[in-house]
Each structure stands twice: as C-alpha cells, then as structure tokens.
Structure 1
Amino acid sequence: MEATRTKSSILSIQSLVIKFTLRGQVLTAIRDISLELYQGESLAIVGESGSGKSVLVKSIMGLLDKNGSIEQGQIFYNDRDLAQFTTEREWLQIRGKEIAMVTQDPMTSLNPLKTIGKQIEECVVLHQGLKGKAAYEETLKYLTDVGIYDVEKRYKQYPHEFSGGMRQRIVIAIALACHPKILICDEPTTALDVTIQAQILQLLKNLQQKYGLTTVYITHDLGVVAKVADRIAVMYAGDVIEVGATHEVFFNGQHPYTWALISSLPQLGLKGQQLYSIKGTPPNLFKAIKGDAFAPRNPFALKIDYEERPPFFQVSNTHYARTWLLDPRAPKVELPETLLAFFEEGRQHANDA
C-alpha cells in the first residue's frame, strides 16, 4: 500500500523497520511501515501510547536515541533517502530548515535563561540569514502571526512569564522561523485545557494555509484532529493499520482497532454507563508478532488473525485497512448500535455538506 512514490508526495516512507537495543534485548518499534505524505496536506498519525508514533517522526528528523537504528527501508525527501544519513552535518541540512517540530511540552524546548525574542531570532539568523534590525522585525512578525500581543514588550520576556498556551505559541513561532516545508506537531495540545487546545489547533490550521506548510499531527486522541486533518493514519504496535481521508476513517473505519478508538470518544458514551475502554494491553514488542498484533484484544478476531499478518485491503482510492475482515471470505460482523449510529450520522452530515 502506497509503496509507489507519486509526483505530489513530499515525503515517502517505504518498508521502514526501526529497532532498539535495550539491556541486550531487541525491540522492534516500527514494523515494516509504508506511508506517503502529500504536498500541502495535513496528516494525523493516531494511536495509543507506545504505538510508535513519536519514533516514526523522530526517524524523519534524525532524532532517534543512540540505541535505535533503521534496520530496513527508505525515507525519501527531495530525492534524498534520509534513512541513509549517518552524520549530524547531513541532518542539519534537513532538521529545522526543511522539517521542523513542535513538541508537546514547551518548557523542555525553551531556554529559561534567554528571552523568547532572542530564541526566535536565533532561528531567523541561522535559517534565513537575516541580521540586526531585519532579524528583529522578522521575529516580531512571527510573534504577531502566532497571536502574541504587545510584541515588542513580549520579545524581552522570559518563558516563565508566559502561560502554557502562550509558551506553545512561542514554540510554534520558533518552528516557523526556520522556514520549514514540513511542520510536525507532536501532541501539541496535550498539556492544555480544552479551550486553549481548540485555539492552538485553529492557529496551526491558519498558519498552514498562510505559509503553505505540510503538517503532521501526532496524537492519541482522534477527536483532537477531526477538524484539522485531511487524512488520518492509525498506528498500532509499530504498524500503520488503517489510513484514509479523515471522514473515511471517522465514519467508515474498517479496522477493529479504529472502531475501538472511536468507541472510546466521550461523545459516544451513554448516560449512566461507563465509557468504553479497550480491554487488554498492547503486545510486547520485544517478541516477534505473529498475525494481526491487535488480535488478542479484538472481539472480532478470526483464526487467521493469529497466524498471518493481514495485507492492506483497498476500501476506496484513498482508504486502506490492514484487516482480514475485509477479505471477501470473511464473515460479516455486527457493530455496536452506538458506533453504527455515529457512522450514519457522520455520513449524513457529509452528504448534507
């Protein structure tokens, strides 16, 4: 699935395998992933903790820990295979300048001893070659673009003088100052309250349009990216198990893990009943996985799910799912009424729009 590069692809991941060595044992964090990122789109990579989301994007940035390595596959960007990079000098041509990242905890990204203005200006000088007054004015422009008011005063302030939401805006401004083509947002709203979450997501959407960015969102919450992502890739146990347009994954999801994630959304809860939770735990990635990794937690699992990894089945031209339930020989399953109603309501809204 998606193994063939297309003219509109800005980044192409092919058959990627990433392993880590921990205390003499080998953990396979990414298991044979192929995925395309298209020019100008917004892609959300969704999955629970430990599914490999952050490892995947770290490999794109050259930020894998020293005990991790790419064992197989390619990461093509501008006709260069990033998987073959071996030196920091090579990565400095890509990191920040071409691909930048917004992290989930701005306090770990910001230097507490430098004013926020100087931290943004450093990126302007390094990546845009501006100096003096030109660099200062460009910095004020980025502060304005991310919604910071009274920018000349704020330029001189330190990170501790800002709220969590404002610090996240500063981190976004630093990323923008690098002039990247791709902006990766790793859980950008995790530490923020719901109201601020919505503001930051809308800000990122606006900035994507203004600067012509290609954006990647990393999150464990499907609901967070519903309104900002063009496509969704669902990850489980180091593998992409479903990918499609946002409305396809949300309202016509095909993999049982996708159904479980959607069922966990608070809006599907019924009054007086406990919210749905996925039973069991993710597999041990130190051990080889046979069949479908989600099978032990899947109430719809077939015998073959425990024996053979399913291929990607095509649902539409843009929608694929790695589940044996899409095989023509598979039995039909009955989904919970709440999930069916959610799917039907979403399709109805889409038709009305």
Structure 2
Amino acid sequence: MNYSKSKDNKEVILSVKDIKVNFKLRGHVLNAIRGISLDLYKGESFAIVGESGSGKSVFTKTFIGLLESNGYIDSGEIIYKGKDLAKFKSEKDWRGIRGKEIAMVSQDPMTSLNPLKIIGKQVQEGIELHQNLKGTEAKRLAIKILEDVGISDPETRYYQYPHEFSGGMRQRVVIAIAIGCNPKILICDEPTTALDVTMQAQILDLLKNIQKEYNLTIIYITHDLGVVAKVADRVGVMYAGDIVEIGLSEEIFYNAKHPYTWALLSSLPQLGIKGEELYSIKGTPVNLFKEIKGDAFAPRNPKALKIDFEIAPPYFEVSKTHKAKTWLLDPRAPKVEYPKALKKLFDEWEG
C-alpha cells in the first residue's frame, strides 16, 4: 500500500507537508491556506473545526482536486500512496484518486443529486466507474449499499427520484454514492447541516457504522463542536488558513492550550453561566489578502502577549499527541488563567 509509519507506529494514509493555497481575486492574491502540515492515520476519524472562512473546505478540496478555477496550490506536498497530489494538474491525473481513493460527502445533498435521474442509477454510476462491475452485479451492490446506509425497502427506493426523499434520506443517498466508489478516505463536509437534531444523531451513527464496515478513514469538516465530541478520534482547530492546535478529542475538549480553542469552547451554549451573557468571540477574522505578522488570532485575543503581534509561534508539544501554536506554552511566558467558562471543564480533566 506504500503507507508510511508515524512515530507511534500508526499507518499514515495521507501526509500533508507545508501546503499553501492561494486564490487570485480582482488582481489580488488571497492566502487561503498558510503552510499546513498534517499526517492522517489509517482508520481514524479526524475532525477539522473552526469558524466559517477559516479554510476547512479549501484545505480538503486540495486532496481531490476540486479547488475553484482561480485557486491553486502555491507550494507544499500532499503525499498519498507515494504520489504527490499537489503536482496533479489535469482531470486525467485526478481520475484515479477522486471517488476511487478519496471521496467527499458534501453539505447540501439536494444540490449533489441529479433531480432527473433515479436514485439507484446515481449510486450505481460510481460502482460501475470505480469497481469494475456492470449491469445486474452493479445494481445488486447499489441496492445493498442503499440498505447499508439505512434506506428501507431499497429495491423500491432504487427507482425513486430525489424529490421523493426527505432531507435525511437524501443525505443517506449522498453517503451511499460516495461508498459506492469504494474509497479509502471519506471527507464529510458539514454532513449534518440543515438536519434536525434527531436526524443529525442518526447520520452520525450511520457514519460510524459505515466506517467500521467499509474500513474507512473519515475527515469531518464542521463548526459544530457537538458533532466533534460524538465522532472524532483527533481534532485539528483551524484559524485563518492554519491548524493552530491539534490533539486527541479529549485533549482538545478538556486540556486545550490555544486561546482560539478556548474561545470556541467558551462559545458552547451548555457552558453558559446562568444570569450572564453567552460568550462570543470579539472582532473579525484577519484579512487574508494582507501578510499576517505574528499570531493571526492576536488582534482578537484579550490574553495576547507582545510577541504575538511580532513573531508567529511555532508548535509547542503538550504531549506526544497534542500540540499548539501559541507563545503561552513557551517556558518564558507568564501564567494565564483559563476563561471562566472553561474552568469547570478543565478541572474535570485534571481530576
């Protein structure tokens, strides 16, 4: 398979090295992804969290060659099975990767489905293209996959159209289409958007079951920390085109070190204190058209140090699985108290 090994002997299925992605807009260059490095482990659930506009979707689109026409990889590597996907230029290059090796479940199932084609044929199309099956065999597998994703009476549903399905059922069909390609990595971009709470839970449970059955590595893109808590083994916290903190799910929730991660966690409604206003992150994200000096989050960080405005912090290791880009972890930095809303949460971890 050509997979490499991490320091703790886990199989690295995909390795990103200092990737930078730019967009050309009206004669200006926007630095959307600013030098991310990341190892994705085989069989894990990895969640990328952050505000809208932080670069979550753009980052993962580079894995399947779906950047908009004005976007391009400026530098860096994306190594998958010994190939550098960052060097791929043509549709012919991507044909052996997109769907077959790395598939995506998009956040709007209605616009992902063809309203004029029956559901079964849409699932079967990927099977025929990527699994070398035709006719009756492909149809039989399509029906099985529909059943696997929780579609009742799949033989009948095979012949129905998208408008005959509810939002939750359409999301299941989109997952079925991705599974039909038999990928190794599945990217789920906001998979529970616009679904009610009950349906969200069902879709997340489905994805966990599908992951086991089909031996998938899953990347979740979300701004919903509730989703992260239910599904993620590891979490990458993204801000202004960079992953500022990364660690095991429990490390991010109970022992976060970056002020931006603190701010995201403090915004959880369930951490609100009775009689006080809910926390909100002050200010607006940085302008990615301009060169960023220091820590990108510094202008919005009430606990920012002087150095945060001058020099970008490196990663500081908290544990073998946990690191964060914040000068607060430098041995010379002053002690800073956690936000009030998080004190109880972090005390549970230490206890």
**TM-score with structure 2 length normalisation?**
0.96
| Residues 132-147 of structure 1: pairs in structure 2 closer than 5 A | 132-147=135-150
SS at match of 1:60: coil
Give a deviation string over 1:144-193, Cα, whole Å, max 9, x none: 10000011111111001111110000000000000000000001111111
Residue 273 of structure 1, CA deviation: 2.4
CA contact (8 A) 2:266 2:339 kept: no
Q: In 1, Cα distance between the equivalents of 2:256 and 2:205?
A: 25
Aligned twin of 1:96: 99
Whether 1:32 aligns to 2:35 is yes
Whether 1:61 aligns to 2:82 is no
Whether 1:82 aligns to 2:78 is no
Q: In 1, Cα distance between the equivalents of 2:243 and 2:220?
A: 15
Aligned twin of 1:19: 22
Q: In 2, Cα distance between the equivalents of 1:303 and 1:6?
A: 39
Q: In 2, Cα distance between the equivalents of 1:272 and 1:116?
A: 50
Whether 1:277 aligns to 2:280 is yes
Match of 2:214 among 198, 201, 211: 211
SS at match of 1:49: coil
Give a deviation string over 1:315-341, Cα, whole Å, max 9, x none: 000000000000000000112333010
Counterpart residue identity of residue 68, structure 1: G
Residue 4 of structure 1, CA deviation: 8.6
CA contact (8 A) 1:21 1:67 kept: yes
Q: Given the superposition, is the C-alpha separation of residues 161 and 346 from structure 1 closer, same or farther in structure 2, using an over 3 Å criterion?
A: farther
Residue 3 of structure 1, CA deviation: 10
Q: In 2, Cα distance between the equivalents of 1:105 and 1:48?
A: 18
SS at match of 1:61: coil
Aligned twin of 2:75: 72
CA contact (8 A) 2:99 2:183 kept: yes
Q: In 1, Cα distance between the equivalents of 2:71 and 2:339?
A: 41
Aligned twin of 2:128: 125
> Which range moved further: 39-48 or 269-278?
269-278
Aligned twin of 1:314: 317
Q: In 1, Cα distance between the equivalents of 2:238 and 2:27?
A: 26
Whether 1:155 aligns to 2:158 is yes
Aligned twin of 1:235: 238
Q: In 2, Cα distance between the equivalents of 1:294 and 1:72?
A: 24
Q: Given the superposition, is the C-alpha separation of residues 72 and 172 from structure 1 closer, same or farther in structure 2, using an over 3 Å criterion?
A: same
Give a deviation string over 1:284-341, Cα, whole Å, max 9, x none: 0000000000000001100000000000000000000000000000000112333010
Residue 124 of structure 1, CA deviation: 1.1
CA contact (8 A) 1:3 1:34 kept: no
Give a deviation string over 1:26-45, Cα, whole Å, max 9, x none: 00000011011001101000
CA contact (8 A) 1:103 1:185 kept: yes
Q: How many residues align?
A: 347
**TM-score with structure 1 length normalisation?**
0.96
CA contact (8 A) 1:3 1:35 kept: no
Give a deviation string over 1:98-154, Cα, whole Å, max 9, x none: 000000000111000001011001111111111121111101100010000011111
Aligned twin of 1:43: 46
Whether 1:286 aligns to 2:292 is no
Whether 1:267 aligns to 2:293 is no
Q: In 2, Cα distance between the equivalents of 1:46 and 1:92?
A: 29
- The ranges of structure 1 where at least 4 consecutive aligned residues each deviate by more than 3 angstroms after the TM superposition are 2-7
The share of aligned pairs that are identical, in percent, is: 67
**Unaligned residue ranges in structure 1 (runs of 5+):** 349-353
Q: In 1, Cα distance between the equivalents of 2:223 and 2:10?
A: 30
Whether 1:323 aligns to 2:326 is yes
Residue 221 of structure 1, CA deviation: 1.6
CA contact (8 A) 1:237 1:293 kept: yes
